[in-house]
Amino acid sequence: MRTIFLFILSINCLFSFSQNKTLGSSQSDTLVIIQKNINKGFYHDYILFIPKDTPRNEKTYLLVEPNNTGRPTDSIEVHKQYAIDLASVSSVGNNISTMLKIPLLVPIFPRPAQQELMYTHALDRDVILEQSPELKRLDLQLLAMISDAKMVLKKMNIQVNSKVFMNGFSASATFTNRFSFIHPHVIKALAIGGFNGELMLPQHKINGTKLNYPLGLNDFSDLFGKRFDIDSYKQIPQFIYMGKLDENDAVQFDDAYGENERQIINNHIGEKVQERYVICQKLYQEKHIFPLFKTYENVGHWTTSDVNFEVIKFFFNQMK
């Protein structure tokens, strides 16, 4: 069993530890919980997982994987524990981080049961429209965490590239896909899987029907105060995969999509997961966007060692 050192620190406290050889040492994995910093733009804690033998004083990459608890709950401790497990125990992101010796950032975003239609962990429309400080623009809060994490890592003599790797599976894949549309300039490469076959589309309409966020770009400028940067988006290497047996379908549930969104998806993209996945590939390619799409036989809504290895290999190739 791996030894993992756990620290729960404020930023000021972390700086006082930055010269301590135990924190982030090359002898063991380290998990640091960075406390929220409203002044810096994030209202929630986040996790930094730093695998042993992470290189010091040479450029590497920061991997970001949004948290995904799998269910709503008003207990932030539940979300925190799921995020800790994702970062340090069992996830594609942890495998990538451990094998490539790169730090991993996991936010501890809530998914409140009292606002059950707000699917924070998928960055749905309700989240983008939310105005409460704690839940407003979680995409910007994640950007603030990334900026803060770079400074934290620098204090630990870990130098990371200005752009990050992003990874996600299921809801966190959907979050990553949508985040990449909003902030393509911060992403070096991304990998996503198990996303209900439904991707955000790089177009304003489909068959004459407007595609508002998160389906497409129709109201993108109104929501985000900028145009979709398609040139930056096209520069992101993407590995997008699904299991051939994956029928996990969030589209049909109200917390993931509203009724109007569901009708548009079912009527114009596809009622079934695998059908949508094929059509989304076609629509991306028509816009001259060419992710590496892959389907895995005999795999459902899960990953296997073969899947994990290919994702790791994909990111390894982006480090060259």
Q: What is the pLDDT along the chain (320 residues), one digit of tens a residue?
A: 454 555 554 433 343 333 233 344 467 999 999 999 999 999 999 999 999 999 999 999 999 999 999 999 999 999 999 999 999 987 899 999 999 999 999 999 999 999 999 999 999 999 999 999 999 999 999 999 999 999 999 999 999 999 999 999 999 999 999 999 999 999 999 999 999 999 999 999 999 999 999 999 999 999 999 999 999 999 999 999 999 999 999 999 999 999 999 999 999 999 999 999 999 999 999 999 999 999 999 999 999 999 999 999 999 999 98
* pLDDT number for residue 89: 87
Q: In what order do the strands lie in the sheet with 187-193?
A: 4-9, 29-34, 46-50, 104-107, 63-64, 164-169, 187-193, 238-243, 292-296
Task: Report d(CA 1, CA 79) in Å as an integer.
Answer: 24
* pLDDT number for residue 51: 97
Provide CB contacts within 8 A for 148, sequence distance 6+: 11, 34, 37, 40, 42, 46
Q: Are 134 and 79 in contact (CB under 8 A)?
A: no
- Single-letter amino acid, residue 49: F
| Token code pair at residue 31 | 């998990």
Q: Are 187 and 180 in contact (CB under 8 A)?
A: yes
Domains detected in the chain: 4-194+231-261+288-318 (3.40.50.1820)
* pLDDT number for residue 30: 96
* pLDDT number for residue 23: 46
Closest CA to 101 of 62, 145, 45, 154: 62
Closest CA to 241 of 282, 216, 274, 270: 274
Cα-based distances in Å from 220 to 131, 227, 261, 302: 17, 7, 15, 32
